[in-house]
Amino acid sequence: MAEVDEAGAPVASSAQPPSADAPLLRCSDVNISFSQRGSKQRLHAVRNASLEVGPADIVGLVGESGSGKSTLARAIVGLQRIDSGAVEFEGRRLGHTRTAEDRRGIQMIFQDPFGSLDPRMKIRSALAEIIRRHTSLRGKQIDTRCAELMDMVQLPRTILSSRPAGMSGGQRQRVAIARALSINPRLLVADEPVAALDVSVQAGIVNLLSDLRREVGLSILFISHDLSIVRTLCDSVNVIYRGDIVETRPCAELFDDPRSDYTRTLLSAIPRLNGPRTEGLAQGQSLGVRRR
Amino acid sequence: MTVDSTGEPLIVEGLSLALDIGGVQLNALRDVSFSLRPGEARGLVGESGSGKSLTLRAILGLLPPNARITSGRMVVAGQEFDLTRTDRDHRRRIARLRGAQIAMIFQEPGVALNPVVPVGRQIVDAVARRNGLTKRAAREYALHLMELVGIHDAAAKIDAYPFELSGGLKQRVMIAAAVAGEPQLILCDEPTTALDVTVQKQILSLFTHLRDELHASLLYVTHDLAVVAQLCDSVTVLYSGEVMESSDDLRAVFDGAQHPYTEALLHSTPDVDRIEQRLYSIPGSAASLSDRTDGCQFAPRCEYARDDCRTGSIPDTSGTPGRVVRCLHKVGAPADGVPVGGIDG
């Protein structure tokens, strides 16, 4: 299991001693910036970000909108160029252009299960397309593999003959996961995979991810704004704020004893089922709306 | 405005609504009832397809053209409305409520605001016209409202266009516009769902503040039970267009849910304060509109369900005033299915 940085303050050190138990994924000092229209200044979306995901680890990446969490995720799967730093996978440094082998190792699922499947394709064809491209399976073997994948994501095999239109959000997200898993990736990057789903359905997806780690040893980088789910699912958490990873800690520690101010703010803002009721603004100042 | 302290600001009774989909009439809401006391905040909770947004739209008279109200009456600030009417006179009466008696805050402030009008003008336009405010007075009032909802440099933001503001600021602008008419009743449709938790926290404080100060009532539609727990006094739980459970006392439901759906929903909601290895997941998924059947809509997914749940309409079995539980085999009831009243702890 990968050791997490000894907490606190922005993680900056890139000189980590090579350990025998090397992480599956290591990002070190990743910088990503964008040009801005009408300005010479570049927007620094991710600054000196370092994080690690070990084998069969589920690591959370938590932040608010605009924090750079999705940008970093896209850089990890090769959808976004980085300015400097390194993304290493299984000890190999990944370049801007990924080989088919690189792509087989890391797969990604997205927030919107409605946008990530071709509406005209039956599920079987959507899966077969990728299996044919990336593996040596042919003909009947593909059918067998598709059935296997449906079992893995806990969907009835009859789904293979349907199209996305007739499916619920939860089913589509399961199909998206099946498609990502079809070529046996070692790492799954999940970008807000349950944010668009109803609570009763999101629980099933969260449990599925947890099962996949246990059963097939899948590593997951789980990106979310929802700390409650992160606490349930993840082993360790990286908190990202305005492009900086401000805290990296094992889950249990982070929730019980947050060290950075931002993490504390974030934790105190979570609405709680059994928490105290929200108070009004400070002071008893009058609104004075009535002015007719 | 005269504050009617005797009457309830909102009563909805027996609201049923059908949607015409491809020439077929499908029941989207069945016999939905609830009411609000002055200053009360009620959470209207449900997952997608539960009919919570349709209920809000029915109150506002803003239903899609394929919707038809088949039964139901409503009382707003002492005025009674037969919701099945569609004539012009009725539509005018409802239209007069909007903005004056009832204000609405939507989920996506970016969509609800006019992109080509400065926000300050959008906040006060309606009120200024109705009350004949001068340009200067209107601008002053807009500034005042913007400060009220916590926009710090209001003077700098008053002439901004919506695209120049962040999501949280836009939602504050929406809230300022909503309270500009001093409404007695504010309807909120997932107003913080699109916002970050730190911004959500500020907006929830703002709602509490406005409620305390204006004594306005809040009907707060959301799928987020934790938000309801933080903000509301009472709660109504909808599933597939029907009220499953309802209580004037929110904690009675959150601490002692009697309907299996409410229990399952609470159980499947992740809670930072509760460490779990596995989340509870409700088996199956909600039936689509065309697959709705007789009996309890939740029965196909319910572990307590028996044959009698699948026929007729399910009565209220709570036996407690201010509480509705539409279930024949309540949580904690004896297994032979004889309903017992008032067992909430």
Residues B86-113 have pLDDT tens digits of 999 999 999 989 888 899 998 887 788 9
Output the pLDDT for position B152.
Answer: 82
Instruction: Provide the 10 A C-beta neighbour count for residue A90.
Output: 16
Residue A139 token pair: 């003909």
Residue A108 and residue A130 in contact, taking contact as beta carbons nearer than 8 Å = no
Look at residue B276 and tell me whether its pLDDT is greater than 80: no
In A, minimum Cα distance to B227 occurs at: A271
In a domain, B244, yes or no: no
Look at residue A249 and tell me whether its pLDDT is greater than 90: yes
Output the pLDDT for position B6.
Answer: 54
Q: Count of domains in chain B?
A: 3
Q: How far is CA B69 from CA B18, B82, B152, B166, in A?
A: 6, 10, 44, 38
Residues A198, B47: C-beta atoms closer than 8 Å:
yes
In A, minimum Cα distance to B266 occurs at: A273
- How far apart, in whole angstroms, are the C-alpha atoms of residue A109 and residue B130? 51
Give me the phi and psi of B236, to 5 degrees please.
-130, 125
Residue A67 and residue A241 in contact, taking contact as beta carbons nearer than 8 Å = yes
Residue A79 token pair: 């959808």
Residue A198 sits at the vertex; the CA angle it makes with B108 and B290, to the nearest 5 degrees, is: 95
Residues B226, A226: C-beta atoms closer than 8 Å:
no
Residues B254, A288: C-beta atoms closer than 8 Å:
no
Per residue in A195-234, pLDDT (tens digit) is 888 887 888 899 999 999 999 999 999 999 888 899 999 9
Output the pLDDT for position A148.
Answer: 93
Residues A275, B230: C-beta atoms closer than 8 Å:
yes
CA of B75, closest CA in chain A: separation in Å?
24
Output the pLDDT for position B275.
Answer: 77
Instruction: Provide, as residue numbers in chain B, all residues whose Cβ is less than 8 Å from the Cβ of A291.
Output: 141
Same domain (yes/no): B138, B62: no
Same domain (yes/no): B86, B121: no
| Enclosing domain of residue B123 | 113-181
Residue B18 and residue B70 in contact, taking contact as beta carbons nearer than 8 Å = yes
Single-letter amino acid code for the residue at A111: Q
Average pLDDT over residues B106-126: 88
Average pLDDT over residues B191-195: 83
Same domain (yes/no): B124, B84: no
Output the pLDDT for position B285.
Answer: 77
Q: Which of B152, B239, B281, B303 to probe by mutation at the A interface, max A CB count within 10 Å?
A: B281
Output the pLDDT for position B192.
Answer: 86
- How far apart, in whole angstroms, are the C-alpha atoms of residue A286 and residue B107? 27
In a domain, B41, yes or no: yes
Same domain (yes/no): B71, B219: yes
Q: Which of B208, B265, B272 sits opposite A228 (nearest CB)?
A: B272
Output the pLDDT for position B126.
Answer: 75
- How far apart, in whole angstroms, are the C-alpha atoms of residue A150 and residue B304? 29
Output the pLDDT for position B236.
Answer: 97
In A, minimum Cα distance to B212 occurs at: A280
Q: What is the percentage of chain B residues whose pLDDT exceeds 90?
A: 51
Per residue in A36-57, pLDDT (tens digit) is 888 888 999 999 999 999 999 9
The top-scoring range by mean pLDDT among A5-9, A17-21, B17-21, B285-289 is B17-21
Residues A199, B205: C-beta atoms closer than 8 Å:
no
Same domain (yes/no): B207, B163: no
Domain residue ranges in chain A: 25-116+188-266
Residues A232, B212: C-beta atoms closer than 8 Å:
no
Residues B268, A199: C-beta atoms closer than 8 Å:
yes
Residues A281, B205: C-beta atoms closer than 8 Å:
yes
Average pLDDT over residues B51-70: 93
| CATH number of domain containing B77 | 3.40.50.300
Q: Find, among B210, B8, B68, the residue nearest to A288 by Cα.
A: B210
Residue B333 token pair: 């009831």
Instruction: Report chain B's mean pLDDT, rounded to a whole number.
Output: 87
Residues A228, B206: C-beta atoms closer than 8 Å:
no
Output the pLDDT for position A254.
Answer: 94
Output the pLDDT for position A282.
Answer: 57
Which is more confident, B237 or A113? B237
Burial of B336 (0-12, 13-18, 19+ CB in 10 A): exposed
Same domain (yes/no): B168, B202: no
Chain B stretch 164-193, residues whose beta carbon is closer than 8 A to a beta carbon of chain A: 167, 179-180, 182
Which is more confident, A276 or B160? B160
Confidence of residue A26 (pLDDT cuts 50, 70, 90): very high
Instruction: Provide, as residue numbers in chain B, all residues whose Cβ is less than 8 Å from the Cβ of A64.
Output: 196-198
Lowest-pLDDT range, A238-242, A270-274, A287-291, B255-259? Answer: A287-291
In a domain, B108, yes or no: no
Q: Which domain-ending residue is among B193, B215, B232?
A: B232
Same domain (yes/no): B167, B194: no
DSSP string, chain A: -PPPP--SS------PPP-SS--SEEEEEEEEEEEETTEEEEEEEEEEEEEEE-TT-EEEEE--TTSSHHHHHHHHHTSS--SEEEEEETTEE--SSPPHHHHHHEEEE-S-TTTSS-TTS-HHHHHHHHHHHHSS--THHHHHHHHHHHHHTT--GGGGGS-GGGS-HHHHHHHHHHHHHTT--SEEEEESTTTTS-HHHHHHHHHHHHHHHHHH--EEEEEES-HHHHHHH-SEEEEEETTEEEEEEEHHHHHHS--SHHHHHHHHHS--TTSPPPP--SS---------
Output the pLDDT for position B307.
Answer: 92
Residue A237 and residue A59 in contact, taking contact as beta carbons nearer than 8 Å = yes
* Cα-to-chain-centroid distance, residue B252: 19
CA of B82, closest CA in chain A: separation in Å?
31
Look at residue B340 and tell me whether its pLDDT is greater than 80: no
Instruction: Provide, as residue numbers in chain A, all residues whose Cβ is less than 8 Å from the Cβ of B227.
Output: 271
Lowest-pLDDT range, B94-108, B275-289, B312-326? Answer: B275-289
Residues A199, B225: C-beta atoms closer than 8 Å:
yes
Residues A277, B224: C-beta atoms closer than 8 Å:
no
Strands A187-191 and A106-109, by their bridges, are parallel
Query: Any CB–CB contact under 8 A between B1 and chain A?
Result: yes
Residues B229, A271: C-beta atoms closer than 8 Å:
yes
Residues in chain B: 345
Which is more confident, B341 or B173? B173
Instruction: Provide, as residue numbers in chain B, all residues whose Cβ is less than 8 Å from the Cβ of A199.
Output: 47, 223, 225, 265, 268-270
Chain B stretch 38-57, residues whose beta carbon is closer than 8 A to a beta carbon of chain A: 47-48
Output the pLDDT for position B98.
Answer: 87
Output the pLDDT for position B334.
Answer: 59
* Beta carbon pairs, A and B, within 8 Å: 153
Residues B270, A229: C-beta atoms closer than 8 Å:
yes
Instruction: Provide, as residue numbers in chain B, all residues whose Cβ is less than 8 Å from the Cβ of A269.
Output: 197-198, 200-201
Confidence of residue A144 (pLDDT cuts 50, 70, 90): very high
Look at residue B2 and tell me whether its pLDDT is greater than 70: no
Average pLDDT over residues B180-204: 87
Which is more confident, B342 or B94? B94
In a domain, B21, yes or no: yes
In A, minimum Cα distance to B205 occurs at: A280
Confidence of residue B227 (pLDDT cuts 50, 70, 90): very high
Same domain (yes/no): B176, B188: no
Instruction: Provide the 10 A C-beta neighbour count for residue A277.
Output: 12
Average pLDDT over residues B274-285: 81
Query: Any CB–CB contact under 8 A between B271 and chain A?
Result: yes
Same domain (yes/no): B29, B93: yes
CA of B28, closest CA in chain A: separation in Å?
18
Instruction: Report chain A's mean pLDDT, rounded to a whole number.
Output: 86
Residues B273, A272: C-beta atoms closer than 8 Å:
yes
Which is more confident, A4 or B134? B134
Query: Any CB–CB contact under 8 A between B58 and chain A?
Result: no
Q: Which of A159, A267, A268, A273 to probe by mutation at the B interface, max B CB count within 10 Å?
A: A273
Same domain (yes/no): B85, B209: yes
Residues A274, B281: C-beta atoms closer than 8 Å:
no
Architecture of domain A25-116+188-266: 3-Layer(aba) Sandwich (3.40)
Instruction: Provide, as residue numbers in chain B, all residues whose Cβ is less than 8 Å from the Cβ of A225.
Output: 196-197
Same domain (yes/no): B19, B84: yes
Residue B258 and residue B318 in contact, taking contact as beta carbons nearer than 8 Å = yes
Q: Which of B131, B208, B265 sits opposite A199 (nearest CB)?
A: B265
Confidence of residue A281 (pLDDT cuts 50, 70, 90): low
Q: Which of B198, B224, B276 sits opposite A232 (nearest CB)?
A: B276
In a domain, B239, yes or no: no
Output the pLDDT for position B245.
Answer: 97
- How far apart, in whole angstroms, are the C-alpha atoms of residue B130 and residue B110? 25
Look at residue B19 and tell me whether its pLDDT is greater than 50: yes
Same domain (yes/no): B172, B209: no
Instruction: Provide, as residue numbers in chain B, all residues whose Cβ is less than 8 Å from the Cβ of A172.
Output: none
